[in-house]
Chains A and B, each alone.
Chain A
Amino acid sequence: MTAFIIENMAPLMFAALVVFLLFGYPIAFALAANGLAFGFIGIELGLLGPELLQALPQRIFGIMQNDTLLAIPFFTFMGLVLERSGMAEDLLDTIGQLFGPVRGGLAFAVIFVGALLAATTGVVAASVISMGLISLPIMLRYGYNTPLATGVIAASGTLAQIIPPSLVLIVLADQLGRSVGDMYQGAMVPALTLTALYALYVVALTLLRPGIAPALPPQARTLRGLALLRRVIFSLVPPLVLIFLVLGTIFLGIATPTEGGAMGATGALILALLNRRLSWDLLKQAMDTTTKLSCFVLFILIGATVFGLIFRAVNGDLWVEHLLLSLPGGQLGFLIVVNIMVFLLAFFLDFFELAFIIVPLLAPVAEKLGIDLIWFGVLLGVNMQTSFMHPPFGFALFYLRSVAPRSVKTKDIYWGAVPFVCIQIIMVALLIAFPGIVSYTAPKFEEAAPVQFDVPTLEFGAPEAPTFDFGVPGGEQPQPSQ
């Protein structure tokens, strides 16, 4: 018996982890408890020395010092302030009017605004709630097919997870040991491709079944001509300025991603102040929620660190590596298995848990197989998006359910999500088939060739969308100090 346990410490520990997590106590402490329990068993069996646990405060201190993770509260705070600043409402009203005359126009408006909100607030819940409250009733009133309306809202809200500056990409960059700036750059094209795929799907549907998403009738379009144009321009200014403040400063090398988050948060405060939405209540609430979110995320990381310390000590990392390297098919086999595994785990775990528990085990194997870790991170990021859309536990669907009118059946919301989950899976396949979609420029190679970088709004023909260059020629590459 003892011999069996000693032989199989790592697999036993992993199996126990599943039980501990499903038990229903907070994940952070379940993870740590699993680590400590097996640490204790290991010490009793003479496999581990008790001095191993002594390393824990040093590990926690390492987490505290981590400059990358500092971006988490900044972007969270920014999103929470923006959520109440009235920006989403203005955008949805005016863009809805702009695209209204087109068949499927409201769906395009939702996708477009979803992408803009993703590039600014980055909070799935906020996007889904505001679109569910504002756009869903209008879509339903003018005869949109219910599953299409709910599906497009949930999917567009979920874009916040993959369009920079997303928390997913920050956490993945941290866990993969890569720079957040590279991760943001690498995710840009895949994120826009995914957005375009959503729009293409709506186009295809309106061609095949015109009745599914009718154009707004003239009496529903209250703004026309110059008045509409003015409103559109005015509503686009705040998000574009914020996108510049955050992504612009990061890509131009003026700010680190962490500072970009702080700049965005300051910008969001100013915007809310200008819109007369900034109150003490809003501020306190945003700080309160940021504190609690930072706390549970960082404690999952602490729990995962305790787990990881012991798991490595019982050679769990070698066991996983051996398991994954012995898969047939080399790189491709590894990628297929990993993606299926992440897709299935995403039914139960959200991305923080996936990133902190699974990614540290996968990263060394991926590196050994010669896989580019930025590309791998973006791939996982797209895949993990499905965790928001999986019926019945997906966050996005859950939030949509709570704002949708009672006439919308839960079944409709679930079925509405399915085509968009399929599109996300297609995107994963596209990424594997054409790895070149993920392009990020290591500055040292790109000094002579400025790369055009388009903000997401450009493809929709927004009049004042700025373009900015990075990789400034002439060696005037500003170095953010770390």
Chain B
Amino acid sequence: MESLLRLSRLIDAVNERVGRSIYWLVLIAVLISAGNAVVRKTFNWSSNALLEIQWYLFATVFLLGAGYTLFKNEHVRIDVISGHLSHKAQLWIDLIGTVFFLTPLCLLILYYGWPYFMNSFISQEWSSNPGGLIIWPVKIMIPAGFFLLLLQALSQLIKIIGGLSGHVDPATLIKSHGHGSADVEVEEFRAMLSDRPTPNNDNK
């Protein structure tokens, strides 16, 4: 079990590294898009490459971020029922979901997505827009993203089995309640409010 858990930690680290790298693309896309709008208006100049790179970046973010988001347990669930069950029952739900819901989807998309990318790669497919970009670098994100997701599914599976067999504390695998980030967010707000410069209109 220990070596499996080590593998799981390795996968977590990989996806965490990927997630923390790709989130910079959000900022880059924002700046390109805003810059493009300004340049088009003021200099009446625009290019399809600049338009296309924006969705290239966003597609990369959400596809490669899938494993990271799964690791952080941020894919939304309906926990109306499961939220009231024991930790053990919730682990079983995750076990079944990982094996029967998530894994088949990843395998299927990998199975069809790889040739889909290869066709584009072999034919060196270019965008049909004038001045557009070459397409395969973004099409490869489909198999790449689902591969990372599949890896993370494996890691989650190891952790869930660890939780069910007592090797891992189950509480660490369960999200507190649907919107688990609320408490963190509230704390950050409190911290921000306590050091804000303007005086509060308290009783003086």
- A33 closest partner in B (C-beta): B101
A299 to B18, CA, bound (A): 17
Known: A57-B112, A57-B142, A398-B179. A93 touches B200 (CB 8 A): yes
B76–A294 CB distance below 8 A: no
- A303 closest partner in B (C-beta): B105
Instruction: Return the contact of A266 from the options B31, B54, B100, B203 (Cβ within 8 A).
Output: B31
Query: Any chain A CB within 8 A of the CB of B58?
Result: yes
Instruction: Return the contact of A130 from the options B83, B96, B189, B201 (Cβ within 8 A).
Output: B189
B108–A53 CB distance below 8 A: yes
A221 to B178, CA, bound (A): 40
List residues of A whose CB falls within 8 A of some B CB. Answer: 20-30, 32-33, 36, 53-54, 56-58, 60-61, 64-67, 69-70, 73-74, 77, 84, 86, 89-90, 93, 96-97, 125, 129-130, 133-134, 138, 141, 219-223, 249, 254-256, 258-263, 265-266, 283-284, 287-288, 290-296, 298-300, 306, 348-350, 352-353, 393, 395, 398-399, 402-403, 478, 481
Interface centre among A96, A265, A291, A293 (most CB of B within 10 A): A291
- 16 A-B residue pairs with Cβ-Cβ distance under 8 Å, sorted by A, are A24-B77, A24-B97, A25-B101, A29-B102, A57-B113, A69-B58, A86-B196, A219-B204, A255-B37, A262-B32, A263-B34, A295-B62, A295-B65, A298-B62, A299-B69, A353-B76
B93–A24 CB distance below 8 A: yes
Q: What is the minimal beta-carbon distance from A39 to any residue of chain B, in angstroms?
A: 9
Chain B residues contacting A25 (CB-CB under 8 Å) are 77, 93-94, 96-97, 101-102
Q: What is the minimal beta-carbon distance from A471 to any residue of chain B, in angstroms?
A: 18
B75–A57 CB distance below 8 A: no
A141 to B112, CA, bound (A): 62
Q: How many A-B residue pairs have CB under 8 A?
A: 246
Q: What is the minimal beta-carbon distance from B179 to any residue of chain A, in angstroms?
A: 6
- B104 closest partner in A (C-beta): A36
- Please provide the chain B residues from 70 to 90 with a CB less than 8 Å away from any CB of chain A in the complex: 70, 72, 74-83, 85, 90
A461 to B44, CA, bound (A): 37
- B153 closest partner in A (C-beta): A29
Considering the complex of A and B, which 4 residue pairs feature the smallest CB-CB distances, nearest first? A24-B82, A25-B97, A262-B33, A26-B75
A399–B109 CB distance below 8 A: no
A22–B65 CB distance below 8 A: no
Instruction: Return the contact of A89 from the options B102, B139, B193 (Cβ within 8 A).
Output: B193
Chain B residues contacting A348 (CB-CB under 8 Å) are 78, 80
Known: A138-B201, A266-B31, A295-B69. A64 touches B59 (CB 8 A): yes
Known: A57-B112, A67-B55. A129 touches B80 (CB 8 A): no
Instruction: Return the contact of B101 from the options A32, A65, A223, A249 (Cβ within 8 A).
Output: A32
Interface centre among A25, A261, A349 (most CB of B within 10 A): A25
Q: What is the minimal beta-carbon distance from B116 to any residue of chain A, in angstroms?
A: 4
Instruction: Return the contact of B105 from the options A21, A32, A61 (Cβ within 8 A).
Output: A32
Known: A65-B55, A133-B190, A288-B23. A294 touches B65 (CB 8 A): yes
A53 to B90, CA, bound (A): 31
Q: What is the minimal beta-carbon distance from A172 to any residue of chain B, in angstroms?
A: 18
Q: What is the minimal beta-carbon distance from B64 to any residue of chain A, in angstroms?
A: 9
Identify the stretch in B2-10, B161-169, B180-188 within 8 Å (CB) of chain A at 4 or more residues: B180-188
Known: A27-B78, A74-B33. A283 touches B193 (CB 8 A): no
